Amino acid sequence: NAADIGQMYELFIELSIHLRVNLMGYDYSGYGQSTGKPSEHNTYADIEAAYKCLEESYGAKQEDIILYGQSVGSGPTLDLAARLPRLRAVVLHSPILSGLRVMYPVKRSYWFDIYKNIDKIPLVKCPVLVIHGTCDEVVDCSHGKQLWELCREKYEPLWLKGGNHCDLELYPEYIRHLKKFISTVEKSPAWRISLRKSVDRPEPSRKSTDCFEAPRKSTDRREKPRQSTDRPEKLRIRDYKFFNNDDKITKLKISFDQMEKSRRSVEYHEKSRRSIDQQLEKARKSVDWLDRIRAG
């Protein structure tokens, strides 16, 4: 979102060492040296390509992979996780319920919404760790809590008191909880039973309103690779996002405002059509009434 893998390199090394894992990061279309343009569709194609690379080039299996998604990046992460039944685990860092819900307190999923995680997370079969700051000013902590409630395989969440949107990795509890989580999911299959006993029984899964299709390919025309000119700054986990944090709210609001205008326009025409139908019905009844008078 606000960085590319060039900026994330040092953090990736630290996480790989402390968590004792092999780590793979990737840039979205249009970021770093990745060609193309950032869009919801392309981020799905990007994470699919990264997964295929792990599977085909490195021989990695679903059960050996943990997907990690932060903020907007929770969208592509859950989209892929919902289609991998044997995935080892998922980590959601300051996740969103959906793009529209970041801006407006809507109670249902609309066709024009993006990253509808609220509809996809019940389809994820592996354990899910949710990490969220209680003072997040970009994505309210309620997003993370509601997603955790909808998980089929709940793992003890981490609600970092005072944590904001982009500083959670600076808290000591962050790395400790990740270590504990990875240690748990590395154990034998029996860990699933203990997990179920340690948390409340999950609620019935809701059916997703999305259709999960075969792996999608980007349809954008490719541009020349762009060199990353940013130098590493303070350690931040911002790899799974594609909007600049400072501009994200503004861009999303403009986009959603336009879609809201379109929706209102459709509703206006629908009301006009109903009004015309009502007038025609009144006219028909009036004619019938006159016919009955003449017949009498």
Annotated active-site positions, please? 71, 136, 165
| Residue pair 81/124 in contact by the 8 Å Cβ criterion | yes
User: Which string of DSSP letters, residue by residue, matches 260-277?
Assistant: HHHHHHHHHHHHHHHHHH
Taking only Cα atoms into account, the Rg of the chain, rounded to an integer number of angstroms, comes to: 24
* SS3 assignment, position 181: helix
User: Which string of DSSP letters, residue by residue, matches 41-97?
Assistant: HHHHHHHHHHHHHHHHHS---GGG-EEEEEGGGHHHHHHHHTT-TT--EEEEES--S
Residue type, 216: R
| Residue pair 34/59 in contact by the 8 Å Cβ criterion | no
| Number of other residues whose CB lies within 10 A of the CB of residue 40 | 15
Q: Can you tell me the distance from the alpha carbon of 188 to that of 200, in angstroms, rounded to the nearest whole number?
A: 22
CA distances from 126 to 87, 108, 150, 189, 193 (A): 6, 25, 13, 11, 12
First to last CA, the chain: 77
Q: Can you tell me the distance from the alpha carbon of 239 to that of 3, in angstroms, rounded to the nearest whole number?
A: 6
